[in-house]
Structure 1
Amino acid sequence: MTDTLPPPETFSDRLLGASIPARDTRLRLVRLDRTLGEILAAHDYPPPIRHLLAEALVIGALVGGLIDEAEGQMTMQAQTTAGVVKLLVCDYRAGAIRGYVDFDGDRLAELGANATLEALFGSGFLAITFDVPERGGRYQGIVPLEGKSLSEACETYFMQSEQVPTLVRVAVQAQGDHTIAGGILAQHFPDGEVGRERLHVRLSHPHWQHVEVMTSSIRHEELLDQEVPLEALVWRLFHEEDEVRVFPGASLTRGCRCSLEHYESVLGRFPEQERAEMRDENGAILVDCAFCSKVFTIVT
């Protein structure tokens, strides 16, 4: 007989999945450290923007982690035409995450250190797009960017666009230049179209109400404590359940997919006259990747 070693515990930069069959609920948990630092280091973001992007990347990992397909991709975009933050975008594909924020620095300085979501975006919208080739391709939902945080806006997305009760909790902590963030997502199992209950019925179901209360009880310091494995958080919340299934998710890495070959391929689709207008005095085209802040020099 061969002894089977238990899987290693999950601490940082890896997703953890779980489900509670009797409650018709699935969970995703994540804590970002090294990967978050690599993404934030690409730009000299001021503290409010670092916090905002950290929250977005945690949510992106949690929501993206719901995709089973290895080639599936989730893209989350928050945008406004009149806000301090013009564009926030992050995406997830098979454990690779990336994100970027375009903002007005002068207007941000006027807001102070504790700017609210409304102050940052004004009246904007949140769009979440899933590209899942094996399940019908691409679909997108768009909701108003409302609430006190991106987490609340994400919950609104799932309620309005997916008709699935969802709870998201995110914690972010900055100590000098080092930022860590963690989060948990609890979601009622999506129903099939046949026999689907109406949303308000399932929101008041005692199973979901119990999960909502227990998940909401998690503290920020628990999500951020790197000495506590994510499996222990699941146990703390739901140890009284008859069955809780826990399974490791994808390892997370900075996922910028820019490359010289990629940009050469993209520019090759433009007519020669347009490429000529892009060239500088040395005959080169400079392409700046917004995600990783690299500049590529391309001679075509």
Structure 2
Amino acid sequence: MENQTETYSDKLLGFTLPARNARARAVRLDRVVDEVLSAHDYPAPITHLLSEALVLGALMGGLLKGEEAQLTMQAQTQAGVVSLLVCDYRAGSMRGYADFDSEKFGKLGANPSLSALFGEGYLAITFETGAGRRYQGIVPLEGETLAEACENYFTQSEQVPTLIRVASRSGGDGRVAAGLLIQHLADGEEGRERLHVRMDHPDWEHVSTLASTISHEELVDDKLSLEAIAWRLFHEEDEVRIMPGADLSRGCRCSAEYYEGVIARFPPDEQAEMRNEEGKVVVDCAFCSKAFELEI
């Protein structure tokens, strides 16, 4: 029987290594990723891509504090097969969507690379604190995976040494996607000022070397708790502080009231052009595939 005090799926886990000035987030998604993917009939490579994006959204969003804080990750290109990939996280509520050219996609092989899917794209990551503060970093969409692109973001935009590992698998019981993010906050653990961040800091070299030993199989093993993963990697450290994180769920914030508010901002003549023969404005939500008929 599973130990209910441990974390297995659809919940974030945070932990820190105080002696090494490192913080980490771990997550494993099953029900959440299946619910997000069910909104559209994505081909396998797009399913894999969006699963990875959801894991990354949870890992990075889990670094934020506050009910109104939000993380949005957007990968975009003008000429690639995938024109837009977006996911966001707010207080455990997640959503994601991918838009792609089916004709171009049909010309790709079975396992297209990230560059084949996006071409020369970019990755934008936006953190909103919920207190009116918002900051965004934009980096080229480079690397073999989205995880590598996110590592580049933290290195280039925030100068925070970061290691991210993501894994996923699909089977008869659905898809499981999981990941680990660990960062070095030099000269001060979480909550203190960061000074003199160095990619070659001995503590970071030690932590990143250990974290790199995590296997694909361990990440997606739904019988292995996230606490057990942290222990396997860092059981020789002086202290590992565990911090239970948010429960995760699929949460699309679309509603008729929201879209009515958006459309009300348009001039009357433009609103008239939006109406169909029945005098209604029909709005489709890309995230959840719901259609809203609005009488405006």
- Taking the TM superposition and a 5 Å limit, the aligned residue runs for 1:53-72 are 53-72=50-69
Residue 228 (structure 1) aligned with residue 224 (structure 2): yes
Q: Which moved more, 1:260-269 or 1:21-30?
A: 260-269
Which residue in the other structure is 2:29 paired with?
32
Which ranges of structure 2 fall in alignment gaps of 5 or more residues?
none
Which residue in the other structure is 1:185 paired with?
181
Distance 1:275 1:233 in 2: 54
Shift of 1:255: 1.6
**Aligned alpha-carbon RMSD (Å):** 1.7
SS in structure 2 of the partner of residue 44 of structure 1? coil
Residue 121 (structure 1) aligned with residue 89 (structure 2): no
SS in structure 2 of the partner of residue 42 of structure 1? coil
Which residue in the other structure is 1:85 paired with?
82
The C-alpha deviation readout for 1:152-201, integer Å capped at 9, x for no partner, is: 0000000000010000000011225821100000011277998731x5xx
State the number of aligned residues: 291
SS in structure 1 of the partner of residue 106 of structure 2? helix
Distance 1:140 1:247 in 2: 26
Alignment partner for residue 210 of structure 1, among 197, 206, 209?
Answer: 206
Distance 1:115 1:275 in 2: 42
Residue 97 (structure 1) aligned with residue 91 (structure 2): no
Residue 258 (structure 1) aligned with residue 254 (structure 2): yes
SS in structure 2 of the partner of residue 9 of structure 1? coil
Instruction: Give 2:128's aligned amino acid.
Output: D
Distance 2:106 2:4 in 1: 47
Alignment partner for residue 283 of structure 1, among 257, 279, 282?
Answer: 279
Shift of 1:54: 0.1
SS in structure 2 of the partner of residue 111 of structure 1? coil
Residue 196 (structure 1) aligned with residue 204 (structure 2): no
The C-alpha deviation readout for 1:58-110, integer Å capped at 9, x for no partner, is: 00000000001221001000000010000000000000111000101111121
Distance 1:42 1:177 in 2: 18
- Identify if the C-alpha distance between structure 1 residues 150 and 63 changes in structure 2 by more than 3 Å, giving closer, same or farther: same
Residue 175 (structure 1) aligned with residue 175 (structure 2): no
Distance 2:170 2:200 in 1: 37
SS in structure 2 of the partner of residue 184 of structure 1? strand
The C-alpha deviation readout for 1:252-276, integer Å capped at 9, x for no partner, is: 0102100111111111121211110
- Identify if the C-alpha distance between structure 1 residues 141 and 101 changes in structure 2 by more than 3 Å, giving closer, same or farther: same
Identity of aligned residues (%): 62
- Identify if the C-alpha distance between structure 1 residues 87 and 195 changes in structure 2 by more than 3 Å, giving closer, same or farther: closer
Residue 141 (structure 1) aligned with residue 137 (structure 2): yes
TM-score with structure 2 setting the length: 0.95
Alignment partner for residue 237 of structure 1, among 233, 242, 264?
Answer: 233
Residue 156 (structure 1) aligned with residue 149 (structure 2): no
The C-alpha deviation readout for 1:21-48, integer Å capped at 9, x for no partner, is: 0010001000000011000000000000
Instruction: Give 1:24's aligned amino acid.
Output: N
TM-score with structure 1 setting the length: 0.94
Distance 1:79 1:190 in 2: 32
SS in structure 1 of the partner of residue 222 of structure 2? coil
Which ranges of structure 1 fall in alignment gaps of 5 or more residues?
1-5
SS in structure 1 of the partner of residue 170 of structure 2? strand
Instruction: Give 1:174's aligned amino acid.
Output: S
The C-alpha deviation readout for 1:203-226, integer Å capped at 9, x for no partner, is: 111110011111110001100010
Distance 1:113 1:256 in 2: 31
Distance 1:280 1:186 in 2: 51
